[in-house]
A and B are shown apart, each in its own frame.
Chain A
Amino acid sequence: MTFVLPPGLALQKVDERIMTLNVGPQHPGSGHMRIVVQIDGDYIVACDPDPGYVHRGEEKMAEYRNYITNIPHLERPVIHDSCNVLYPYVLGAEELLGIEVPERAKYVRVIASELNRCIYIMYWLAIYGIFLGHSTMFMWPAGDRELLIDLMEKMTGARVTHAHFVPGGVRNDLPPNFEDVCLRQVNYFEKRIKEYAAVFYDNPILIARTKDTGILSRQDAIRYGTTGSVLRASGVDYDLRVKEPYDVYDELDVHTNVMKEGDSYARSKVPWFDMLESCNIIRQALQKMPKSGSVRVKLKPNPKTKGLESVYKRVESGRGSLGCYIVSDAKVEPYRVKLSVPSFRNLIALPNLLRGEKLGNMPSVYWSLNYWPVEADR
Chain B
Amino acid sequence: MMNTETENSPADDKPEVKSPPPKPTPKKPEVAPVELPAFEKSISDKMVEKFGDKIQVGFVKEDRVRIDVGKENVHDVAKFIRDALNYDHVESVSGVDYPQDNEIEVVYHIGSYTESSLARQILVLATRAPRETNPIPGNDATRLPTLRDIFYSVEFHEREIFEMFGVFFEGHPDNRRLLLPEDWADLPPLRKDFAIKGR
Contacts and interface: CB of A to CB of B under 8 A. Distances in A.
Interface of A: 6-10, 50-52, 55, 57, 59-61, 64, 222-225, 227, 231, 236, 238, 243-244, 310, 312, 314, 321, 323, 325, 327, 335-336, 338, 340, 344-345, 347-348, 377-378
B182 A9 contact: yes
Contacts of A244: 63, 119-120
A223 B91 CA distance: 11
Interface stretch (B11-19, B34-42, B171-179): B171-179
A51 B183 CA distance: 15
Contacts of B182: 8-9
A348 B151 CA distance: 12
Given A8-B177, A52-B179, A312-B109, A223 B94 contact: no
Given A60-B196, A325-B94, A9 B88 contact: no
Contact of B156 (A59, A236, A323, A344): A344
B179 A377 contact: yes
> 4 closest A-B pairs (Cβ-Cβ)?
A225-B153, A340-B92, A225-B89, A52-B179
Contact of B184 (A8, A57, A238, A325): A8
A348 B185 contact: no
A312 B185 CA distance: 32
Interface residues of B, number: 41
B70 interface: no
9 contacts: A6-B185, A9-B183, A59-B190, A60-B189, A223-B89, A224-B153, A225-B152, A243-B120, A312-B64
Given A7-B185, A312-B124, A61 B179 contact: no
B90 A225 contact: yes
Interface string B63-74: 110100000000
B152 A345 contact: no
Contact of B114 (A8, A59, A222, A314): A222
A320 B67 CA distance: 26
B78 interface: no
Contact of A52 (B119, B151, B178, B183): B178
A323 B92 contact: yes
Contacts, number: 101
Nearest to A342: B91
Interface of B: 63-64, 66, 88-92, 94, 96-97, 107, 109, 113-114, 119-120, 122, 124, 151-153, 155-157, 160, 176-185, 189-190, 194, 196, 199
Contacts of B96: 327, 335-336
B196 A223 contact: no
B196 A345 contact: no
A59 B179 CA distance: 13
Given A64-B196, A243-B119, A55 B179 contact: yes
A231 B92 contact: no
A338 B97 CA distance: 12
Nearest to B184: A8
Contacts of B152: 223-225, 348
A217 to B, nearest CB: 13
Contacts of A222: 88-89, 113-114
* Centre residue among A231, A244, A312, A340 by max chain B CB count within 10 A: A312
B75 to A, nearest CB: 18
B91 A340 contact: yes
B122 A312 contact: yes
A52 B91 contact: no
A343 B123 CA distance: 22
A52 B89 contact: no
Contacts of A64: 196, 199
Nearest to A377: B179
Contacts of B151: 225
Nearest to A64: B199
B153 A321 contact: no
Given A225-B151, A323-B109, A340-B109, 14 more contacts: A6-B185, A10-B176, A52-B180, A222-B88, A223-B89, A224-B152, A236-B113, A238-B119, A314-B122, A321-B91, A325-B107, A344-B157, A345-B91, A348-B156
Nearest to B194: A60
Contacts of A338: 92, 94
Contacts of B90: 225
Contacts of B178: 50-52
A89 to B, nearest CB: 13
